Amino acid sequence: MAEPIVRPAAGADMAGVRAVAGHFGLLDLWPERPDFVDAEREFGEVLVGEVDGTIVGFGGTLRRGTVTHLGDLFVLPGHQSSRVGRTILSRLLPGDTPKVTFASDDRRALALYVRNGMRPRCPLFYLTRRPPGEQAAPGEADVHTAGLRAPGVADVRAAPGETDVRAAAALDAHVSGGDRTSTLTWYAGLPGVALHVSGSGYAFVRTAGDQVVIGPAGGATPQDCAGIVLKAANAHHRAVPVHMPVHMPVHMPVHMSSHGPGPTPGHGPVHGPVHAPGHLPVHVAVPGTHPLLALLLEAGWRIGDMDTLMTSEDVMRLDCYIPHPDLG
């Protein structure tokens, strides 16, 4: 077997990159282009591992300010002992700035990330809210407590505006660890993306194919974050809504908006294409330390999968932040 070559991805490599991604089911939430690999090429970096002219693996990153988010490191099974993955990782990750990844349960990968300076922080749970016809039996019913409504018609606008995206990006920078206004502007422009905003919270939601994905989302406090995520979930799902308990602990804000007075938290406008709530599953990635996790599980959401959230530094507000499964 020829010695593997690791190099930056070119346009001609993308079919091979997506073939590797498809092998691992990475494109399930991206039924059409542009997809997260396009985002990595535009706003981060994508490296490929090539053997005898064939792409056998790739790695991709996105950047949030000084934070490098390792989104992908995948090598086809027949080449996983050829040091392709290790070489890609060593060239992708900087040595002196914060790093973040969502690591699978592959023990070799976990060890590799630890050797590159990252440490496990908490589990990351991938939750799914089933379509109404598949709701669970009694005992998994939605939580009924006071105070959060889904938006009405008056809350909807035609498309995410630049002002709203920038307001969301400003809060996102404080809870996610760094600024990524360009990436969020790109995401807001994709078909099917809506942006829920309030004076102290934001939630991006995308309807793509037969799936709804929430994230990234965040808030000035855990309450604000939970409220805006629940609002987004209820707006995109025809079912008895989940509500935020009135007894959720109060935390000091991590960021006070500099954009002047805004709508009451939990009652801000929704910007984006209007989809009548339908029979679509809703997906969200929730850090294990977030108070939203227990609430959603009590409401009957299912754990579909789990990763380990790893960082080299404590740069994220994990109780105020809901990442996107692929964009971080």
* pLDDT tens readout for residues 124-159: 999 999 776 555 444 444 443 233 343 332 233 335
In sequence order, the β-bridge partners of residue 311 are 100, 119
For 28, other C-beta atoms within 10 Å of its C-beta total 13
Are the C-beta atoms of residues 269 and 154 closer than 8 Å to each other?
Answer: no
Residue 230 has pLDDT above 80, yes or no: yes
Tokens of 71: 């989104």
* pLDDT for residue 278: 54
* pLDDT for residue 298: 95
Q: 14 — phi, psi (to 5°)?
A: -70, -30
Span 163-212, pLDDT tens digits: 899 999 999 999 999 999 999 999 999 999 999 998 899 999 999 888 99
Find the range with the poorest average confidence among 102-111, 240-249, 300-309.
240-249
* pLDDT for residue 158: 35
* pLDDT for residue 279: 73
Q: What is the mean pLDDT of the chain?
A: 82
Span 303-321, pLDDT tens digits: 999 999 999 999 999 999 9
* pLDDT for residue 109: 87
Region 80-97: mean pLDDT is: 88
Are the C-beta atoms of residues 229 and 217 closer than 8 Å to each other?
Answer: yes
* pLDDT for residue 133: 58
Residue 238 has pLDDT above 80, yes or no: no
Tokens of 169: 């990006």
**In the chain, count of helices (H) and strands (E)?**
8, 14
* pLDDT for residue 154: 25
Q: Tell me the pLDDT band of 9, cut-offs 50, 70 and 90.
A: very high
Domain residues of the chain, as ranges?
A: 5-97, 125-306
Query: Which candidate, 292, 296, 295, places its Cα nearest to that of 222?
Result: 292
* pLDDT for residue 50: 92
For domain 5-97, the question of CATH label 3.40.630.30 is answered with: yes
Region 109-121: mean pLDDT is: 94
Task: Tell me the C-alpha distance between 168 and 197, whole Å.
Answer: 7
Q: Tell me the pLDDT band of 82, cut-offs 50, 70 and 90.
A: confident
At 80, the amino acid letter reads Q
Cβ within 8 Å of residue 74, ≥6 positions away: 20, 21, 23, 24, 26, 57, 58, 59, 85
Q: 270 — phi, psi (to 5°)?
A: -110, 125
Please state, in angstroms and as integers, the Cα–Cα distance from residue 146 to each residue in 13, 143, 149, 189, 278, following that order: 52, 10, 9, 34, 24
Find the range with the poorest average confidence among 45-59, 272-286, 288-302.
272-286
Query: Which candidate, 317, 214, 208, 186, places its Cα nearest to that of 270?
Result: 214
The pairing of beta strand 270-271 with beta strand 99-103: unpaired
How does DSSP assign 217-286, residue by residue? Answer: EEESSHHHHHHHHHHHHHHTS-SSPP---TTSPP---S---SS-S-SPTT---EES------S--EEEEE
Residue 162 has pLDDT above 90, yes or no: no
* pLDDT for residue 7: 96
Are the C-beta atoms of residues 122 and 318 closer than 8 Å to each other?
Answer: yes
